[in-house]
Amino acid sequence: MAASHRLAVGDRVRIPPVRVAEREAGDAPAPPLELPVLFEDDHVLAVDKPAGLAVHGGSGIDHGAIERLRAGRPEAKFLELVHRLDRETSGVLLLAKKRSALTALHEELRDREMDKRYLVAVAGRVRDEMRRVSVALRKYSTADGERRVAVDERDGQEARTVFRRLERSDEFSFLEAELLTGRTHQIRVHLAHIGHPVLGDEKYGDFALNKALRKRGLRRMFLHAARLSFTHPASGEPVSVASPLPAELEAFRRAVLAQEPPP
């Protein structure tokens, strides 16, 4: 039948089956997830995020922690990330259960009133017991779309970190990092910039060293969000939430300080 043919009474029209594309993987419902709860009340939720879990979907990741936590708490009317952690960083992740709490906590972040401390292991012997690093950082994307950060004092954003040396061996140092600003990859880029890259860091670290470390039992980045302190958005009381160093990182630390390979 020609496309110009006009239908008349009595004509029979056959419509062939319509092929429907298969549902994209990203459209599938997020699988429910429960993480160890470090602190929870009617306003906020702090969970212990493992390494390897992205905090939200995107960039080839169907579902992150926030989508999966919502799926595991269908009764929750509101659940939003207060801040973010890199995928390979473990530790304290804070979420808001009310919009008013999210607004108040974001204001704390903007005013730099939230205290965030990380435990990190780096290459080399860090000389100073405390070192302040103030180096501007600029975000950019590689040709294949990967997000990266570079030191850029002219066009970058202010970034400040305080590092305190906790322990060290002949090869490595264990530090506490205090974030005074919250730029993307800030700790990792600052440490690489001063010549002490984070152990296991596949973006800014020492790749040959990382390969050797895998044979010694360190198969992830040694960066852990150990403590987060904030003012409670409803009560105004101080709250401090802590996450213990994961077993694999603690085993590596003990082995290094004992000068023995980890089990």
Supply the pLDDT for residue 161: 98
Supply the pLDDT for residue 174: 98
Active site members:
86
Rounded Cα distance between 112 and 106, Å, is 10
Going by the DSSP 8-state scheme, the letter that residue 242 receives in this structure is: E
The sign of the torsion formed by the CA atoms of 28, 29, 31, 35 equals: positive
Q: How far is CA 115 from the centre of its chain?
A: 16
Q: How far is CA 145 from the centre of its chain?
A: 18
Whether this model's pTM surpasses 0.75: yes
Supply the pLDDT for residue 9: 72
pLDDT tens by residue, the chain, 263 residues: 555 566 667 677 666 554 433 444 446 787 888 899 999 999 999 999 999 999 986 656 677 899 999 999 999 999 999 999 999 999 999 999 999 999 999 999 999 999 999 999 999 999 999 999 999 999 998 888 788 999 999 999 999 999 999 999 999 999 999 999 999 999 999 999 999 999 999 999 999 999 999 999 999 999 999 999 999 999 999 999 999 999 999 999 999 998 754 44
Question: With 0-12 CB in 10 A as exposed, 13-18 as middle and 19+ as buried, what is 163?
Answer: buried
236: alpha, beta or left? (left if phi > 0; alpha if psi -120 to 50): left
Return all residues near 232 (Cβ < 8 A) that are at least 6 apart: 43, 44, 238, 239
Domains of the chain: 32-257 (3.30.2350.10)
DSSP per residue over 112-127, as a string?
A: T--EEEEEEEEES---
